[in-house]
């Protein structure tokens, strides 16, 4: 089981390296986004020392980190699954001994690893135009980030399986990306959201993909709240695993191989 999945992860890694120009352009867009956010929020703060309990330095560090995370975690699974379902090559995925869902997760892991390697030269530039501080709780940050990544991959798998019912999932993937980035707090921290919107954001899993790890890093979430966040992330992972299992039981029965 491990060897087939390792092979699939290597394919995901090579896929990312095959489209290096796309990664480079995405890194340029990331640098521009972080720079613009810095300019906007510096202007918004003006002479104020802090807002919503966050200093400008902490906010800029949070936004820089949240956007770096969003760039690294950005899922490729829905696009790959959609292409393979439409062309019928999903047949080979279904007969793979590792199973379809583990394959897609392994592919995403390899793709993410390659993206991190390719992004490494751009990180100093991102930090230069943005800001960063020493992590307030490094172990808490790593724990919440890893669990948040697992949540992101599982949601991406759910989006990918829509392709078994719909032949076109591009609009759904775009809607998911916009919604997840907004509620992950990549543009505005969730603590700045108004009452009802903040309540909604806290009820969704997207905050654990962006806001929570970055907030732990800058010390916005501390102490027992970090452990509580980890436990909630684990609960979300268990819930998403159950939903994935139920959806997959129905999805693979709907496979129609085009042309045969």
Question: Domain residues of the chain, as ranges?
Answer: 2-254
Q: What is residue 213's predicted lDDT score, i.e. its pLDDT?
A: 93
Residues 6+ apart with CB under 8 A from 244: 101, 154, 157, 158, 161
> Are residues 5 and 99 in contact, defined by beta-carbon separation less than 8 angstroms?
no
Tell me how far apart the alpha carbons of residues 260 and 258 are, in angstroms, rounded to a whole number: 6
- 3-state secondary structure (DSSP) of residue 69: helix
Q: What is residue 259's predicted lDDT score, i.e. its pLDDT?
A: 46
> Are residues 186 and 210 in contact, defined by beta-carbon separation less than 8 angstroms?
yes
Q: What is residue 146's predicted lDDT score, i.e. its pLDDT?
A: 93
Tell me how far apart the alpha carbons of residues 206 and 218 are, in angstroms, rounded to a whole number: 19
Tell me how far apart the alpha carbons of residues 153 and 145 are, in angstroms, rounded to a whole number: 12
Phi-psi map region of 219: left, alpha, beta (phi>0 left; psi -120 to 50 alpha)? left
Q: What is residue 28's predicted lDDT score, i.e. its pLDDT?
A: 80
Q: What is residue 260's predicted lDDT score, i.e. its pLDDT?
A: 42
- 3-state secondary structure (DSSP) of residue 256: coil
Total residues found in the chain within this entry: 260
> Which residue, among 141, 22, 124, has the nearest Cα to 76 in the 3D structure?
22
Question: What is the pTM (predicted TM-score) of this model?
Answer: 0.86
Instruction: Output the furthest CA–CA distance in the chain (Å, rounded).
Output: 67
Tell me how far apart the alpha carbons of residues 249 and 16 are, in angstroms, rounded to a whole number: 30
Each residue's pLDDT, cut to its tens digit, for the chain (260 residues) gives 566 667 677 766 676 666 667 777 777 888 888 888 888 888 888 878 787 778 888 888 888 888 888 888 878 877 777 777 776 666 666 666 667 778 888 888 888 887 777 777 777 777 777 777 778 888 999 999 999 999 999 998 888 888 777 767 777 878 888 888 889 988 888 888 888 898 999 899 999 999 999 999 988 888 889 999 999 999 999 999 999 988 888 876 665 555 44
Q: What is residue 207's predicted lDDT score, i.e. its pLDDT?
A: 92
**DSSP character at residue 159:** H
* Cα–Cα distance list, 201 to 82, 193, 231 (Å): 28, 9, 18
Residues 6+ apart with CB under 8 A from 160: 77, 78, 80, 81, 82, 104, 169
**71-98: string of b/e by CB count within 10 Å (b at 16+)?**
bbbbbbbbbbbbebbeeeebeebeeeeb
Tell me how far apart the alpha carbons of residues 179 and 135 are, in angstroms, rounded to a whole number: 27
Tell me how far apart the alpha carbons of residues 152 and 216 are, in angstroms, rounded to a whole number: 18
**Alpha-helix runs per DSSP H in 46-99:** 56-73, 77-87, 90-94
């Amino acid at each position: 089981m491990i060897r087939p999945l390792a092979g699939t992860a290597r394919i995901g890694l090579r896929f990312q390296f095959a489209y290096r120009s796309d990664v480079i352009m995405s890194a340029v867009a990331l640098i521009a986004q972080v720079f613009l956010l810095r300019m906007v929020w510096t202007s918004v703060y003006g002479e104020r020392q802090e807002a919503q309990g966050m200093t400008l330095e902490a906010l800029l560090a949070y936004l820089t980190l949240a956007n770096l995370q969003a760039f690294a975690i950005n899922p490729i699974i829905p696009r790959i699954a959609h292409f393979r379902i439409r062309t019928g090559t999903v047949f080979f995925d279904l007969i793979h001994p590792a199973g379809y869902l583990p394959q897609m997760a392994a592919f995403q892991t390899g793709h993410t690893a390659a993206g991190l390697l390719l992004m490494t030269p751009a990180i100093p530039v991102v930090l230069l135009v943005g800001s960063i501080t020493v992590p307030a709780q490094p172990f808490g940050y790593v724990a919440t980030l890893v669990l948040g990544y697992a949540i992101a991959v599982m949601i991406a798998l759910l989006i990918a399986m829509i392709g078994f019912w719909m032949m076109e999932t591009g609009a759904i993937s775009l809607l998911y990306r916009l919604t997840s980035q907004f509620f992950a707090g990549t543009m505005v921290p969730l603590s700045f959201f108004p009452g009802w919107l903040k309540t909604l954001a806290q009820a969704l899993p997207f905050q654990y993909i962006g806001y929570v790890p970055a907030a732990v890093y800058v010390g916005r979430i501390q102490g027992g709240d970090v452990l509580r966040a980890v436990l909630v992330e684990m609960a979300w992972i268990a819930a998403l695993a159950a939903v994935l299992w139920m959806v997959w039981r129905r999805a693979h029965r709907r496979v129609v191989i085009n042309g045969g």
